[in-house]
Structures are given as C-alpha cells and as structure tokens.
Amino acid sequence: MASAEEGGSTATQYIQHHLTNLKFDLSSMQIDGHASGFWVLNVDSLFFSIVLGVFFLYFFRLAAKKVTASEPSGLQNFVEMVVDFTDTQVRDIYHGDSKLIAPLALTIFVWVFLMNFMDLIPVDALPAAAHASGIEYLKVVPTTDLNITFGLSISVFLLMMFYGIKVKGGVGFLKETLTHPFGPWLAPFNFMLFLVETIAKPVSLSLRLFGNLYAGELIFILIATFTLGAGASLLAIPMFILQVLLGVGWAIFHILVITLQAYIFGMLTIVYLSMAQQDH
C-alpha cells in the first residue's frame, strides 16, 4: 500500500486514477483512457480475467492429465479437493442430468475466487509497475468491473433461459410465465412478475459480487490515501502506523469476503439453474 503515485497529487485525483480502466477504443483502434460508448474494451479487466482463467485451467488441466486413481500427489490432492467440493454442492442442489452444471460451477468458484484475490495485492503495486512501463491506467481486480460481473451473470442468465425452455418446451415455458403463480386470469400480472423475477436474478448476482469487491477495493484505496502527500510532517508517523494497521485488518477480513463472494456466486448459479429446470 505504498502511497507514492505520480498520477494524482490530491486524494480525489488519486482515487479517480485508480478507478479508471485501461481502455481500448474499437472504433479508433487505439488505447484511449477517456474513450466512451459501447465499442470500448477494458483491456486491464479482460487481461487479468483471461490470465487468471488460463492460470486456473493450466493447473487444473495439469492435474487432470497426470491424474491417477492410486495415491494422489500434492497438486492432484488440491484439485481433487476443489472438484469434490463442487461435485458435492452440485449434487445436493441440482438434480437434472446436464453435464454442464458441475464444470460451470467449478469454473465460477475458482475463477471468481482468483479474480477476487487480485484485491489482496497492494493497490499500488501493479499500477505502479505498469506506470513504470508506460501504461497510464490499470485496474487490477476484474470483478470490480461491472462488465466482467455482468458478463458472468448474463451468461448464467442465458443458460437459465436455455435450460428452462429445453426442459419445459417453448410452449410450456411460455405457459408458465403467463399462468404462474396466480393462475391464467391474471396473466399480465404473472408475466410482469416473471419479468421482474427473471431479471432480478442476473442483476442481483452480478451487482452483489461487483458491490462487495468494488467497496473492498475502494476501502483499500482510501486506506492508501492516509499518507498521500503527507511529506515529512509530524502527522505522517501516526498516520503511517494507522494505515498499516487498517490495511492489515481489512486485508485479513477481505480474505473471508473474496472467498465468500466466489462461493455465493457459484452456489447461486447452481441454484438458479436447478430452479430453471424445475416444474412449479
């Protein structure tokens, strides 16, 4: 949580700088920090998201390649623990026969956890390194980017629709949206309720993850501003001690938060997908 940051002299600028993505404008095909509109890629979010996903898949694939039914070794033990945990959760909640749900849940658990974990890296470490190599903006926690969390939750939402229609059939699915829960005479009201219920799921799913991580990241940034520009004043020493203590405390608490949020996201995905396949 080093506080030296050349980009911003005041706390507001410092915070603003930390919350700005490294953007790539697809229309002008160049890196542009102030790009706006839809056809813009948040390069930093995507980069860390992909790197962490590849990291996850690399180690799990490594374990899967060397997997043996006899005595498992270190990596295999760990991977099996995670896989077994996922399998147990999926088995408890989901009773359909889709082969997709369990791998999907495993991917969400591990990937979201890893993306959340970026929050525990000191807020200035990677941006400072990037700045040194000429990159102006860098946001290192992908799950503090709404695009990333909505990317996950909308994918889950599409799967919910897909499985709902697949299990109940197009007509059955439509019928349920119109007749459930108050019977066919209140069809418009039922449909409104269905819309709210259905849209609330992916929105709450992604906003919960985003909110928790964004708030966590913001508090880390705020803690980092304690000694910002304090120079050699007398106040610098107690402020530095306070910053270290708060930073450590928040980081320890955050270990719980990032794990819990990854768990909640994965569990709710399983729950929503199993609900989508159930007949009311």
Partner 1 sequence: MSINATLLAQMIVFAIFVWFTMKFVWPPIMQAMRDRQKRISEGLASAERGVRELNEATAKAEEMVGKAREQSQEILSNAQRQANETLDRARDEARAEGDRIVAAAREEVDQAVASAKEDLRREVGELAVVGAERILKREIDAKAHNDIIDDLVTEIR
- Residues of span 95-114 touching partner 1 by CB under 8 A: 99-100, 102-104, 106-107, 111
Closest of 276, 47, 8, 241 to residue 168, by C-alpha: 276
Determine the longest span between alpha carbons in the chain, in angstroms.
74
Catalytic residue chosen out of the listed positions 98, 147, 155, 208: 208
Give dist(CA 154, CA 150) in Å, integer.
6
Nearer to partner 1, 243 or 274 (CB): 274
Nearer to partner 1, 47 or 250 (CB): 47
Nearer to partner 1, 50 or 248 (CB): 50
Catalytic residue at 206? Answer: no
CB of 204 to partner 1, least distance (A): 17
Question: Residues 101-131, buried b or exposed e (16+ Cβ, 10 A)?
Answer: bbebbbbbbbbbbbbbbbbeeebbebbbebb
Catalytic residue at 36? Answer: no
Nearer to partner 1, 21 or 177 (CB): 21
Catalytic residue chosen out of the listed positions 204, 206, 233, 274: 204
Q: Check: CB of residue 19 under 8 Å from CB of residue 141.
A: no
User: Is position 221 an interface residue for partner 1 (rule: CB under 8 A)?
Assistant: no
Interface residue with partner 1 among 96, 151, 211, 229 (CB under 8 A) is 151
Nearer to partner 1, 92 or 169 (CB): 92
Catalytic residue chosen out of the listed positions 21, 190, 212, 274: 212
Residue with tokens 């404008």: 25
CB of 272 to partner 1, least distance (A): 15
User: Is position 87 an interface residue for partner 1 (rule: CB under 8 A)?
Assistant: yes
Q: Check: CB of residue 144 under 8 Å from CB of residue 219.
A: no
Give dist(CA 239, CA 220) in Å, integer.
15
Give dist(CA 98, CA 102) in Å, integer.
8
CB of 134 to partner 1, least distance (A): 22
Nearer to partner 1, 155 or 179 (CB): 155
Catalytic residue at 212? Answer: yes
- Residues of span 26-65 touching partner 1 by CB under 8 A: 26, 36-42, 45-46, 49-50, 53, 56-57, 60-61, 63-65
Residue with tokens 């009311």: 280
| Encoded tokens for 262 | 């990854």
Q: Check: CB of residue 239 under 8 Å from CB of residue 227.
A: yes
Give dist(CA 3, CA 230) in Å, integer.
10
Q: Check: CB of residue 120 under 8 Å from CB of residue 258.
A: yes
Q: Check: CB of residue 240 under 8 Å from CB of residue 254.
A: no
CB of 144 to partner 1, least distance (A): 10
Please list the active-site residues: 204, 208, 212
- Using CB under 8 A, list all residues that contact partner 1: 19, 26, 36-42, 45-46, 49-50, 53, 56-57, 60-61, 63-65, 67-70, 72, 79-80, 83-84, 87, 99-100, 102-104, 106-107, 111, 145-148, 150-152, 154-155
